[in-house]
Amino acid sequence: MSSKPKNVQDPASSKTMPFHKYKPFQPIHLPDRTWPDKVLDAAPRWCSVDLRDGNQALIEPMTPNEKQIMYDLLLDLGFKEIEVGFPAASQTDFDFVRKIIDEGLIPEDVTIQVLCQAREDLITRTVEAVTGANRVIFHLYNSTSTLQRRVVFGKSQAEITELATSATQLVKTFTKPLVDAGTDLVLEYSPESYTATEMDFAVEICTAVMSVWGATREKPVILNLPATVEMASPNIYADQLEYFIRQLPQRDLAVISLHTHNDRGTGVAASELGLMAGADRIEGTLFGNGERTGNCDIITMAMNLFSQGVDPELYLSDMARIVQVSEACTKIPVHVRQPYAGDLVFTAFSGSHQDAIRKGMAYVESGSDGAWEVPYLPIDPADVGGSYRETVRVNSQSGKGGIAFILENYFGVQLPRDLLLELSPIVQKVSEADGGELQPDTIWQTFISELVEVPGPYALIDYEVRSIPDEREYCKARVRVSDNEIDVEGEGNGPIDAFVTALASTLNETIHVVDYQEYAMNEGSEAQAISIIAVSGGNTEKCFGVGISQNTTTAAFKSIIASLNRLWR
């Protein structure tokens, strides 16, 4: 009976977070939204911002050499648009932009992008940085949100629009010599903190920028609509985008680009729903690096498309190398559970999952319709440079399916279900004693000591088998029984039957072979025979033993001896 006094509240139950401080985000009214019915069936235009947004977010920004290594990786992955820096804000960025231009390190089909605030001195410096480049996206931005207009700038909507359009005119004027000299130059404009901006004002300021720039169907402006801070669920972002696109005059004069952040943990989802709402282009970083909680993870988003049978238009087949370069350049480890790239994302420890994966792989390999259909594995690990072997690893939570998978895929051993049921608890005890994951070699040694090299009173020393009349076989063998060596002989319908008869008659034991399997392990000069035999003696249940040898008869005889030792034990 409780001794707690009446009307005394448990202190734990009275604890609350200060949720009253926060105002809920107000969604826009869009009851006739159409984006939920859309399906993503093509890749967007990708733009990597690893060298700018991702670099600015690092405790230790990349060195020039690290920037070059990351840049080379982005080219290898197939990015055609790369934001290479904020040259007016950093001498290192300025020098890097000049380096790749002056040394001819930009492929003809790749466009570099540079970021610049709406300030004349910064625009001048940025133009200097990109002079001589063949293809440039000049990314101009200024903040438009209600909060920043009120708290940071103290400016009205009209004053913020004037700031944006004046800066656009400066970019147009200062870049004219570049364009006249042959540079293919595109304007990108970002109303920073778009999601916290009144939608009608966002449309108004973007329309004004497009007008000043002189956007055409042949040369559209990129309107980048960033979730600079993720403030609401992804469906609200999609509503904002569909509303914006509906209201934007001359939609065909603009490329709608997205730059999501991950403050609520849904940066990828917001970008995906944004594409469904009508966007054309995605900015993001490898593995989502970026300020605060990071940007849209382009690797995850591209692989999500890939897993749905859509060409991601990025080449991500060597995921281990992508991880290695990213970690080396950013000094940020990729989490073991990072989608598609983490060390453990294709790994199952659960016994039931392991069994399902094993059966699913067998189904695919048996010649289905060619589609990848394996439980718990949304993609084939081999498509990103992984191995089937890595999908199943064994610890104390694993079962017979995991053990079977390891033995089959690492060592070529396929055990019958009854034997797996025997071996599984033995391996589990080893894992529990070890306290962690069991490596394949440990599982193999457990298999050998428990089923192959079984200690006991019996051992095979030598044997001789020959054919005799009536299609029968004669076997004479020398066997160690405890400390004695004895000769046994017998006849049978084959070598196994003859050997069992010899043992039973000499040892005065009742021995029956009740299960028998034999197949080849490995191929060529490495080939060995494996024999799996179960025997019963008298009223005992059957007991398995395994023999391995390059000679099939030797393998069978060894498996019988192993069975007898296990039966005796």
- Per-residue pLDDT of 82-91, as tens digits, reads 999 999 999 9
Query: Pairing state of beta strands 45-48 and 281-284?
Result: parallel
Amino acid letter at 452?
V
Q: What's the pLDDT score for residue 37? A: 97
Q: What is the CATH number assigned to the segment(s) 458-568? A: 3.30.160.270
pLDDT at 348: 73
CA dist 317 and 379 (Å) reads 12
Residue 461 makes CB contacts below 8 A (sequence gap 6+) with 477, 478, 479, 480, 485
The Cα–Cα gap between 376 and 120 comes to 55
**pLDDT, tens digit, 9 for 90 and up, residues 100-158:** 999 999 999 999 999 999 999 999 999 999 999 999 999 999 999 888 888 888 889 99
At 109 the three-state DSSP class reads coil
Q: Average pLDDT, stretch 339-354?
A: 82
Q: Where exactly does CATH 3.20.20.70 map onto the chain?
A: 44-330
Q: Where in the sequence of the chain do the CATH 3.30.160.270 domains occur? A: 458-568
Reported as a single tens digit per residue, the pLDDT across 192-206 is 999 999 999 999 999
Range among 15-24, 159-168, 514-523 rated most confident: 159-168
Q: How far apart are CA 329 and CA 331, in angstroms?
A: 6
How high is the pLDDT of residue 6?
57
Secondary-structure class of domain 44-330 per CATH? alpha beta
